[in-house]
Structure 1
Amino acid sequence: MIVGVIVGVMMITMAIAGGIMGVILSAGSAARSVRGSGFLIAVGIAGGMAIGIAVGISEGSALGIAAGTVSSVTLWRAYYHAFAWILVWPRVHGDWYPWHPVAWDDLCGLPFPGLDRLLAAYADHDRAASEAEIERLISSYSFRSQRHNALRARARLVARDAAIAPSLRQADAIVARLPEGSDGFLAETAAVKEWVGEIALLQRQVDIADRPLFRDPLAELLLEKVDHFAHRIAGLHEPLASEFRQAATNWLAIARRQREEVRRCRDREPTPQVFRAGDPVRREQEAFVARLGVFGELERQVMLSTGCPGIVLYGRRRTGKSTVLLNLGGFLPATVLPVCLSMQDPKAFASLASLISLLITRIREALGTVAPPVPISAEAVGLAELFAFLGEANRSLEKDDRRLLIGLDEYEMIDDKIGQGVLPQELLDTLRESIQSHRQITWILVGSHEITDLRHAPWTSYLVSARTIELPLFSREETTLLLTDPLQHSRFWREKDRQRPRFASAFWGEDGIERIHAEAGGWPHLVQLIAETAIDLVNDSGRREIGAALLERALEQAIVKGHNVLYELSRRESRLPGEWEYLRGFAGSERQPPPADPRVCASLRRRLLLVESAGECVLRVPLMRRWLIERAWRIED
């Protein structure tokens, strides 16, 4: 009886294997259709079953036992495993996949070893067909037993796509296609996505950095990050370990080539250019000096036990207000979460709904996992919903003993939009009520206009209790720190083996720092402008320090490079009758009597443009007088 059963099963298996191999050998690479192959295989199955049963009976076995054995083998299609290994061993034949049982039989109940590798190899011959098969096995195959192999195949293809990506900045978008789950390798793909996301983010930072000095530490950090990734993935389940090992190898080669290119560019720039006049300064990559007095006062106000009644941060144009707001995170306690929003962002002033949606989005990003849910659809959010959201956020912050600092840069735009009817004045009512009710939330309004200059709403009434902090010009000490140790607050240069760029006082020439500070009048933007111009001249001339003659050339070029900002500070802000005419008078004389009109005199003092001495006035910024001498005659009254 036992012999009959064994012989019967062997006959079935041999018949099927013969049918399959006959099809493969006779069909060529793709000469026959899969359905034709299925027909021939079916004939082999039928014949094998008939012979097997006959042999079993002839040997005296019971019909029931023979039928049961054949039924089990047939139901799960176990007989396919007798030959399916031929497609994946000793090597994988990707172009043979159409003759694999799962390609034409939807009732294969047992998983096939190596099917994921066969599907991935099939993609080398027909990518679209391979992906279609993988999707079919995942979503619509009769038995879920093949689904895991299909998910593994998809992971292999994703990893191989990431390995050949031309730039690491695209790697996270590719890896985002990895499937996720709770078991085996599927439980590890979320971590892989996070690690690759860190690599891609660093690559984007390298690409954004526009100067070799700033790109160098980023490129080095990227190489370290990829190397760590290569070690991390070694302990993962298959197929992640082997597939991403190849990706890591390719990425390491890319990161090394990039680092060497960055270093070659850096070596061609003998004096590092770290100064930048223009946009808000990013302390990680650009010359930055901490305004410790301002940061200290902000911390005292934010950390008041009874809650802060709001802050107005006021400073003249180009004094570094946005830079202070951008860098709050490094100078306030870790329990304070800063949220910065520029009112010049079109999303902030397009409509009330757009502003509220942007506020809620930024606050939720800062709060992370403890953030309240979005009230309702973004299009329908109003002031009531915003206030309710802030209330929930306040309660969450109170539980964790944390605070939220919401900074609105260029807040004067709100006043303009109230005047245009784009934003309602009730927005200020909501702001005042939030200040009074939400003690864990501090609002800070940042602008270059005094609050009494705003005309479209009674701002002083709404912010009657708000504290005003004025951002001063650079002190002599702050200018010295900026020019001698401009990157002291950059985390990229904190590693022991990285020598942070510094400039000795002698580099700027005899009394050079004092002269730069005096010519700029301590105006932060102008200090950066003169320093940036001087470094460019040093590199162009091949010198190693700045002498008096070169600094004079830098001042001459600075009034050309800084024409727009000097025009804004002097001409455009001169709105009173006779104000511009008085300033233009300094083109012909270094000193003038104070303005006869007390309103003009008060305005120029408020604008920090005049310094009085011995009953006469001089310009605070000598660089501005150079500009007036060269260009004032071209400017209309």
Structure 2
Amino acid sequence: LSLTLYALPYTLAERIAGPWSGALAGALGSGGAFFLFFANTTDYIPVLLFSFVGILLGFTLAWWRPVIFYPFIIIWNFLLFRLDERRAPAQTPHLLHRHSAFWDEFQRLPLVGLDTHLLLVMERNRQEAEAAMAYLNTTRQRWAARAAQIEQDARQLMACHSIAAIGEAYHRLSTSEATDSASALLRSFSRISQDVDAAMRQESAYNRRLALSAVEDRLDGLLRELTRSNDRYAARFRPIAAHWREVVADVVQQLAEEAEMRQEIDNPYIIGVPLTEKQEIFVGRSDISSHIEQLLLDRRRPPLLLYGQRRVGKTSLLNNLGRLLPSTIVPLFVDLQGPVSQARDHAGFWYNMARSMIRSAQRQRDLILPPLARDALAADPFTGFDEWLDQVETVLGEHLALLMLDEFEVLDMAFARGRLDADGVLGMLRHVIQHRPRWKVLLAGSHTLDEFQRWASYLINVQVVHISYLREEEARQLIECPVEGFALRYEPEATARVLALTRGHPFLVQLLCAEVVALKNEQPAEERRLARLVDVETAVPRALDHGSFFFADIAQNQVDLTEAEVLRLLARQGEETAVPRQVLVDYFPSLMALENALIRLQKRELIERIGDGYRFQVELIRRWFARQPA
């Protein structure tokens, strides 16, 4: 009778207004009905007691029902799982939608086996599983959705049996910025996968082997860490790390055996991408890093501008400042050509900025900065980012933070297109410079601030650090001994010719020397280990062809029509030949246009003045322009 008096009003009210209304109606029904039923009795104590118990049971339904019915619910769910297991994989929909997690909203206890059922459906019907997980993430059973996703990621990682599969794994991983151990492990595997992908994109077998050896070392470190760890996920992910290390080690060994069998000279030169701090080929720049260090210690805290032409090594220097500067300075590198400047609003801009800074601190100084949640920037992005900087300063302690913004010109394009507000972003940078003494700001680009007036008005007293050609001893090291144990020797005349053709331009030195190594590897083994003058000259046309993207960028993006015509005229005169100024004046109808062109070309370090004439600064660039049709 009690059950009936409770169930009838509960069912009616639950259908109309929801479970809590049903509980209230059931409580009043079971308690109130008994009170009316026994209204004529003389002993009210049992009636009142029974009514109170009925009402109490109704109001505490959400607490006692999950516990009492839990064994029956588990049996029901297990039967559904076993039935789904025996169904044909192609038979849909699965019985998962009948699981109690999708209709019993009062159940607060973890439903054992729900994650296993999710995995089964995920393997057979990804779309159905994702819909179920999306719902579960809004309930108390969200643990199961997360556990199933982690296990699915672990299975995908374990299924990578080739180096190509490992290099593609990061595309499929569902990583997040969460601080729990599973998310941290997945981010580690994602970064390793990205490093493998980058390694396999290297042009030379030597650089692939070098990059993969670094990945192997990282996997060794991860294995040791997982072996020592007591974390619950350590045992699950350690076999994956061991498997990946075995795959990577096999490829490294295979590359080494192939190189030994062919007796090839390893080509250490890296063309077209900046050098990272892990690449041994980076040479020199100690004078520039020393100058930067002196300016960083200046009490006036001036902002810095690393200025130099394209491909002259600005980004490579920024990547390597961590090992050139004292450990008390923490470099925070931000590439503005990436997601930062492409953000659609200020929240996305500061979020991507923080992500880059966090990654750089960990890579350069093994320092873990606090995460910045995107939600914290939703209401007020500038205040949210400023508060995050307070947290970063707490972690930094007495260390000095060097915020390095590479390719700052790209950000100006975002201002011009209206995606970002110049006053807000530049005002924030000026605020950091003026009011945060432990922070220094360094911009890097191929333009001066004079060409960007709105930057100049916010960043006052900028100290320019000019980066240009390598010094002769640095260029010689890059030619003759780029890495330890380099097998190719150069005749003195061959080295001198490389210097004369490139003037120590770091990109062009690597471009030409890479072609020399490739040329020597095509020769008989007895002639392979010594580079002669004729080898350098033979490699020049190949370098001009393979480096055409560098030269074409000058012609198409860095000079206007008048400047391009000046370059073509100078190029036709031959090596080290200066064109008299009067010849140029007679050739161009507008003296003002000529003067402006000569000034800009000298500023871009393409030409130089010799006496009363002008010539190319770099012979390889002159040769490329000389090859172009008039």
Alignment partner of 1:502 is 2:499: no
**In structure 2, how many angstroms separate the alpha carbons of the residues matched to 1:451 and 1:150?**
51
Structure 2 counterpart SS, 1:406: strand
**In structure 2, how many angstroms separate the alpha carbons of the residues matched to 1:477 and 1:370?**
43
Partner residue of 2:250? 257
* Corresponding residue to 1:402 among 399, 404, 410: 399
Q: CA deviation at 1:476?
A: 0.8
Partner residue of 1:472? 468
Question: Which amino acid letter does the alignment assign opposite residue 502 of structure 1?
Answer: F
Structure 1 counterpart SS, 2:531: coil
Alignment partner of 1:310 is 2:299: no
Partner residue of 1:440? 438
* Corresponding residue to 2:477 among 456, 476, 481: 481
Structure 2 counterpart SS, 1:590: coil
Partner residue of 2:458? 462
**In structure 1, how many angstroms separate the alpha carbons of the residues matched to 2:153 and 2:600?**
64
Partner residue of 1:336? 329
Contact 2:350 / 2:385 at 8 angstroms: preserved in 1?
no
Q: CA deviation at 1:233?
A: 5.7
**In structure 1, how many angstroms separate the alpha carbons of the residues matched to 2:510 and 2:482?**
11
Contact 1:347 / 1:354 at 8 angstroms: preserved in 2?
no
Unaligned stretches of 5+ residues in structure 2: 1-67, 72-84, 88-98, 101-111, 362-367, 586-593
Aligned-residue CA RMSD in angstroms? 5.9
Partner residue of 1:549? 534
**In structure 1, how many angstroms separate the alpha carbons of the residues matched to 2:235 and 2:197?**
26
* Corresponding residue to 2:518 among 536, 541, 544: 536
Q: Deviations over 1:325-361 (max 9, x none)?
A: 2332222233333333344446515656277335643
Structure 1 counterpart SS, 2:492: coil
Q: CA separation of 1:376/1:531 partners in 2, compared to 1, >3 Å: closer, same or farther?
A: same
Q: CA separation of 1:124/1:485 partners in 2, compared to 1, >3 Å: closer, same or farther?
A: same
Partner residue of 1:165? 160
Structure 2 counterpart SS, 1:586: coil
* Corresponding residue to 1:524 among 506, 516, 521: 506
Alignment partner of 1:558 is 2:543: yes
1:562-581 alignment, distance < 5 Å: 562-569=547-554, 572=559, 575=562, 579-580=566-567
Partner residue of 1:291? 285
Question: Which amino acid letter does the alignment assign opposite residue 311 of structure 1?
Answer: L
**In structure 1, how many angstroms separate the alpha carbons of the residues matched to 2:330 and 2:401?**
5
Residues 156-165 or 535-544, more deviating: 156-165
Structure 2 counterpart SS, 1:532: helix
Q: CA deviation at 1:315?
A: 1.4
Partner residue of 1:7? none
1:6-25 alignment, distance < 5 Å: none
Q: CA deviation at 1:298?
A: 1.2
Alignment partner of 1:620 is 2:620: no
Structure 1 counterpart SS, 2:442: strand
Q: CA deviation at 1:586?
A: 2.3
Question: Which amino acid letter does the alignment assign opposite residue 398 of structure 2?
Answer: D
Question: Which amino acid letter does the alignment assign opposite residue 517 of structure 1?
Answer: L
Contact 2:285 / 2:317 at 8 angstroms: preserved in 1?
yes
Contact 1:364 / 1:371 at 8 angstroms: preserved in 2?
no
Structure 1 counterpart SS, 2:500: helix
Q: CA separation of 1:545/1:418 partners in 2, compared to 1, >3 Å: closer, same or farther?
A: same
**In structure 2, how many angstroms separate the alpha carbons of the residues matched to 1:196 and 1:624?**
43
Residues 537-546 or 230-239, more deviating: 230-239
Q: Deviations over 1:257-277 (max 9, x none)?
A: 323333244344711112133
**In structure 2, how many angstroms separate the alpha carbons of the residues matched to 1:201 and 1:125?**
25
Q: Deviations over 1:445-472 (max 9, x none)?
A: 22222333x2x63554433311111112
Q: CA deviation at 1:278?
A: 2.3
Q: CA separation of 1:163/1:483 partners in 2, compared to 1, >3 Å: closer, same or farther?
A: same
**In structure 2, how many angstroms separate the alpha carbons of the residues matched to 1:625 and 1:428?**
39
**In structure 2, how many angstroms separate the alpha carbons of the residues matched to 1:582 and 1:538?**
35
Structure 1 counterpart SS, 2:579: coil
Alignment partner of 1:591 is 2:578: yes
**In structure 2, how many angstroms separate the alpha carbons of the residues matched to 1:230 and 1:409?**
34
Contact 2:277 / 2:319 at 8 angstroms: preserved in 1?
no
Question: Which amino acid letter does the alignment assign opposite residue 579 of structure 1?
Answer: V
Q: Deviations over 1:269-294 (max 9, x none)?
A: 71111213323223534732231111
Question: Which amino acid letter does the alignment assign opposite residue 549 of structure 1?
Answer: V
Q: CA deviation at 1:165?
A: 3.5
Q: Deviations over 1:548-583 (max 9, x none)?
A: 221111123223333443354468356469734652
Q: CA separation of 1:318/1:238 partners in 2, compared to 1, >3 Å: closer, same or farther?
A: closer
Q: CA separation of 1:229/1:423 partners in 2, compared to 1, >3 Å: closer, same or farther?
A: closer
**In structure 2, how many angstroms separate the alpha carbons of the residues matched to 1:619 and 1:174?**
50
Q: CA deviation at 1:250?
A: 4.7
**In structure 2, how many angstroms separate the alpha carbons of the residues matched to 1:421 and 1:631?**
41
**In structure 2, how many angstroms separate the alpha carbons of the residues matched to 1:447 and 1:312?**
8
Residues 604-613 or 347-356, more deviating: 347-356
Partner residue of 2:349? 356
Contact 2:118 / 2:145 at 8 angstroms: preserved in 1?
no
Contact 1:156 / 1:239 at 8 angstroms: preserved in 2?
no
Question: Which amino acid letter does the alignment assign opposite residue 434 of structure 2?
Answer: Q
Q: CA separation of 1:622/1:300 partners in 2, compared to 1, >3 Å: closer, same or farther?
A: same
Q: CA separation of 1:406/1:124 partners in 2, compared to 1, >3 Å: closer, same or farther?
A: closer
Partner residue of 2:209? 216
**In structure 2, how many angstroms separate the alpha carbons of the residues matched to 1:148 and 1:395?**
29
Contact 2:563 / 2:601 at 8 angstroms: preserved in 1?
no
Q: CA deviation at 1:479?
A: 0.4
Contact 1:169 / 1:200 at 8 angstroms: preserved in 2?
yes
Q: How many residues align?
A: 527
Q: CA deviation at 1:302?
A: 1.9
Q: CA separation of 1:375/1:567 partners in 2, compared to 1, >3 Å: closer, same or farther?
A: same
Sequence identity percentage? 20
* Corresponding residue to 1:207 among 189, 197, 200: 200
Q: CA separation of 1:352/1:622 partners in 2, compared to 1, >3 Å: closer, same or farther?
A: same
Question: Which amino acid letter does the alignment assign opposite residue 272 of structure 2?
Answer: G
Larger radius of gyration: 1
* Corresponding residue to 1:277 among 267, 271, 280: 271
**In structure 1, how many angstroms separate the alpha carbons of the residues matched to 2:497 and 2:304?**
35
Q: Deviations over 1:471-528 (max 9, x none)?
A: 12121111012123324xxxxxxxxxxxx44256xx2223222211111122222222
Structure 1 counterpart SS, 2:573: helix
Question: Which amino acid letter does the alignment assign opposite residue 449 of structure 1?
Answer: H
Partner residue of 2:81? none
**In structure 1, how many angstroms separate the alpha carbons of the residues matched to 2:265 and 2:426?**
50
Partner residue of 1:49? none
1:48-197 alignment, distance < 5 Å: 162-166=157-161, 167-169=165-167, 193=186, 196=189
Q: CA deviation at 1:324?
A: 1.9
Q: Deviations over 1:22-69 (max 9, x none)?
A: xxxxxxxxxxxxxxxxxxxxxxxxxxxxxxxxxxxxxxxxxxxxxxxx
TM-score (norm 1): 0.63
Contact 1:595 / 1:601 at 8 angstroms: preserved in 2?
no
Structure 1 counterpart SS, 2:453: coil
Contact 1:274 / 1:285 at 8 angstroms: preserved in 2?
no
Contact 1:307 / 1:439 at 8 angstroms: preserved in 2?
no
Q: CA separation of 1:573/1:503 partners in 2, compared to 1, >3 Å: closer, same or farther?
A: farther
